[in-house]
Amino acid sequence: MGRVQDKVVLVTGGARGQGRSHAVKLAEEGADIILLDICHDIENNNYPLATPHDLEEAGLEVEKTGRRAYTAQVDVRDKETLTRELANAVAEFGGRLDVVVANAGICPLGGDLPITAFADAFDVDFVGVVNTVHASLPYLKSGASIITTGSIAGMIAATQAASAGVGPTGPGGTGYNLAKSFVDQYTKALALQLAPLSIRANAVHPTNVNTPMLQSEPMYRVFRPDLENPTAEDALLAFPAMQPMPIPYIEPQDVSNVVCFLASDESRYVTGLQFKVDAGAMLQF
C-alpha cells in the first residue's frame, strides 16, 4: 500500500474497463484521481461506450478507498474542453498533477462501416492521447510520469504480419491500428524530450483484455468470421489465438499492475519503453 501516496493522477476513459481498473488500483495505493470519460456513444463506434452512471460509479469506487475523485464528462478529441476541465480538476487538488494515464480509446470494427470510422478511431486513439498529454504538460514537474495505452493488435499490424481473422478489420480497425502504432512512436519521442526535466513517458501495450471493447458483437465477428452471428462462447474458442500462453485474454487488473509500477517512484528511471502485457503475443511476430 502507498506506492503512489498523495500523488494526483489523471485517467482518461476512466468510467469503465481498463481506465476504471487503473483509477481504483492507484487510489488503493494512495492517489487522488481525476476521471474523465466521454460518457456517450460515438455514431460509427458500433458497440456501446460508457455512460454517466458508469463514471459516477467509478468515482464512488475511488472514494471508497478513502481517496478523492474528480469526475467530468469530456471527449478527448475536444482539446478546449479537456484543457478547461483539467484546469478545474488540478485546481481542486491544489495545483498538483503527478501522473497522466492517457487511456481513452475506441475500436470500431467491420467492413460495412463508413470511412468516417477511420477518422473517429484515429482521432480518439491518437489525437486524444496527444490532447491529453499536451493539456497536462504545464502542470507536470520533475518526477512526473506519463503512461500511454497502446495495443498489441496495433503493434502486430505495424509489422504487417497480422494473421487473417485476428486483427481488427474495416476502416475503423485500420484507424485503430494506425493510431496505436503512432502512440508508440509518439511516446518514445516524448520521453526523449522530457528526460532533461526528469519527467518520464512509457507505453503499455495490452493483448486481449476482458473489457466491454473485447466482449462485444463486432469483436466476436472479427475473431469468428466463419460464423454469421458468433456469440461470446464462440469467440472464447478463438481468443487464445492471440497469445502463446494458453489464455483467451488478460484482466484489466493485469494492466493496472504495470500502470501502478510506472506511476510510482519505483520506476523513477524507467522511460521511453514499451511494456507488453500480452502473454507472449508479440513473440509470434
pLDDT one digit per residue (tens) for the chain, 285 residues:
799 999 999 999 999 999 999 999 999 999 999 999 999 999 999 999 999 999 999 999 999 999 999 999 999 999 999 999 999 999 999 999 999 999 999 999 988 899 999 999 999 999 999 999 999 999 999 999 999 999 998 898 877 644 433 444 799 999 999 999 999 999 999 999 999 999 999 999 999 999 999 999 999 999 999 999 999 999 999 999 999 999 999 999 999 999 999 999 999 999 999 999 999 999 988
Sheet containing 274-277: give its strands across. Answer: 69-73, 32-37, 8-12, 99-102, 145-149, 200-206, 274-277
**176 given a catalytic annotation:** yes
Fold of 8-160+167-211+252-277: Rossmann fold (3.40.50)
Residue 234: Cβ within 10 Å count:
15
* The overall pTM is greater than 0.85: yes
Domains of the chain: which residue ranges? 8-160+167-211+252-277
Residue 258: Cβ within 10 Å count:
19
**CA gap 139, 156 in Å, rounded:** 34
Cell numbers 460515438 label which residue?
42
How would DSSP label each residue in 13-65? Answer: TTTSHHHHHHHHHHHHTT-EEEEEE--S--TT--S----HHHHHHHHHHHHHT
**Which grid cell sits at 58?**
467509478
Contact 76, 57 (CB under 8 A): no
Cell numbers 475500436 label which residue?
107
How would DSSP label each residue in 100-150? Answer: EEE--------TTS-THHHHHHHIIIIIHHHHHHHHHGGG--TT-EEEEE-
**Which of the following is catalytic: 70, 139, 176, 186?**
176
What pLDDT does 96 receive?
97
What pLDDT does 158 receive?
78
**CA gap 158, 35 in Å, rounded:** 31
